[in-house]
């Protein structure tokens, strides 16, 4: 397909219906960000085997020509955020193998993928997501509120570094979606979180 036709073919934001169509649109976004500025909306309701097929498609493409992701990995986690449980199951299927280099670049970290949140973890992640846009300002109060309850290892690291390092937003959202953390939150907090997620998913590549 001629590159000149890519904006008309791939620049739409509608959710693509199949894994194969989504992969083509995402690759167009990564390869020619000046033509396709935003990643496509990912398909929802995928199975672990469909996620595995997507990963294998990336692996094959990367073996032919190394994929250059945008600096902020724009769009790299979107399909996993939209299908977090299937992604975890797919990772369990492939984790016995050598994990392909491109998979390490696009998947959440293994620590996040294998994390099983306790109630203290969920409260902490919810607070981080709710306060994410002014996290440095809120860091002191968040750290104080969650200093008593034990946190899982990776979250304990986030907790100790809140004043100087923001936890990866894509992984924060992945956990919120996987564990449906905002389902029982107040309307105000849900609106704030949905705005954060929308802003993350609609950003342009840099």
Percentage with pLDDT > 70 across the chain: 88
Cα–Cα dist 37/40, whole Å = 10
Find the helix packing angle between 119-130 and 169-178, rounded to 10°: 130
Q: What is the pLDDT of residue 103?
A: 92
38, two tokens: 């935003």
Residue 34 has pLDDT above 90, yes or no: no
pLDDT tens string 42-53? 999 999 999 999
How far, in Å, CA of 113 to CA of 154, rounded?
11
Rounded to whole angstroms, how far apart are CA atoms 146 and 163?
A: 14
- pLDDT mean across residues, the chain: 87
pLDDT of residue 2: 47
DSSP per position, 111-180: HHHT----HHHHHHHHHHHHTGGGHHHHHHHHHHHTSSS---HHHHHHHHHTTT-PPPHHHHHHHHHHTT
Can you give the pLDDT at residue 131?
A: 94
Of the pLDDT bands very low, low, confident and very high (cuts 50, 70, 90), residue 106 is very high
- Residue 15: what pLDDT? 52
pLDDT at residue 186 tops 60? yes
For residue range 108-159, list pLDDT tens digits in order.
999 999 999 999 999 999 999 999 999 989 999 998 888 767 899 999 999 9
Is pLDDT of 80 > 80? yes
Model pTM score: 0.88
- For the residues 97-104, what does the mean pLDDT come to? 85
Q: How far apart are the first and last CA of the chain?
A: 24
Burial per residue of 84-99, b for 16 or more beta-carbon CB atoms within 10 angstroms, e otherwise: bebbbebbeebeeeee
Residue 206 DSSP label? -
Q: Two tokens at 71?
A: 């600096």
């Amino acid at each position: 397909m001629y590159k000149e036709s890519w904006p008309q073919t791939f620049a739409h934001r509608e959710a693509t219906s199949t894994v194969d169509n989504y992969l083509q649109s995402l690759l167009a976004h990564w390869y020619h960000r000046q033509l396709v500025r935003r990643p496509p909306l990912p398909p929802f309701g995928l199975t672990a085997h469909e996620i595995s097929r997507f990963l294998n498609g990336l692996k094959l493409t990367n073996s032919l020509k190394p994929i250059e992701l945008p600096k902020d990995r724009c769009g790299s986690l979107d399909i996993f955020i939209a299908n977090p449980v299937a992604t975890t199951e797919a990772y369990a299927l492939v984790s016995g193998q050598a994990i392909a280099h491109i998979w390490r670049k696009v998947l959440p970290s293994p620590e996040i993928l294998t994390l099983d949140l306790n109630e203290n973890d969920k409260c902490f992640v919810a607070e981080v997501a709710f306060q994410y846009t002014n996290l440095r300002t809120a860091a002191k109060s968040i750290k104080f509120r969650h200093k008593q309850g034990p946190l899982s290892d990776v979250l304990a690291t986030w907790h100790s570094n809140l004043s100087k390092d923001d936890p990866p937003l894509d992984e924060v959202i992945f956990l919120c979606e996987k564990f449906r953390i905002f389902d029982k939150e107040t309307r105000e907090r849900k609106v704030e979180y949905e705005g954060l997620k929308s802003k993350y998913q609609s950003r342009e590549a840099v």
